[in-house]
Chain A
């Protein structure tokens, strides 16, 4: 399964478009991490707990998108986009979507 955010796949020909596939996840960290983050808010710097949280959940969203694409018989997802939104304090929704295609 090739995942790409370009409209084409270099060297491959796309034979069929199967439509939009998407994956999303809403996640939060335990309260200890939130307390650590608010302490970090005084000192400044990277909030590693949140970075980790977001990249993990983004992977999860991409995985779900891939599963959906597999289920409809695609072998690649092109033109993938990400979007993030905060649902409540400390929780984030990560959303990935793209076009499922069959390439030769």
Chain B
């Protein structure tokens, strides 16, 4: 019985706080995506020949983000019947967008306006005992081109 109560409390707390955290995070992502729109993130491997020769520099952005207890519980139920796990989809989406934003932020601090050859890497760093994804790390990196005065 006590176990059930603890479970219910964890689920309720996870649901409420997780929802608030996710909403707030999405709001901030959308706001900052507008703010950093002037920095072009391009996944081409090599800049076009028309691109003037600028100084280049490696920029990175990373984030470790965790899913709440409620969503993890839902996901474990979902594995019984199969199908999309929507709660994890939004987790990964948020993490990728956040990592790209942080990379852009670093590029801006160097005065760059373009980032080429963007690579995204995802790693789950803390595996729980059951082997389910608890938290994931997303790393975004690329080469920022910094215009030099000639």
CB within 8 Å of B: which residues of A? 2-12, 37, 40-48, 50-51, 54-55, 58, 62, 80-86, 89-90, 92
Contact = CB atoms under 8 A, between A and B. Distances in A.
Q: Which of A37, A41, A58, A62 has the most CB of B within 10 A?
A: A41
Nearest to A81: B119
Contacts of A50: 64, 125-126, 135, 137
B66 A44 contact: yes
8 contacts: A3-B58, A5-B143, A6-B45, A8-B46, A41-B66, A41-B67, A47-B64, A84-B121
Contact of A47 (B46, B65, B117): B65
B135 A47 contact: yes
Nearest to A50: B64
Interface of B: 10, 13-14, 17-18, 21-22, 25, 45-47, 51-54, 56-58, 60, 62-69, 71-72, 98, 116-117, 119, 121, 123-127, 134-135, 137, 139, 141-143, 145
The B interface, classified by DSSP as helix, strand, loop or mixed, is strand
The A interface, classified by DSSP as helix, strand, loop or mixed, is mixed
A48 B121 CA distance: 18
Contacts of A58: 60, 62, 139
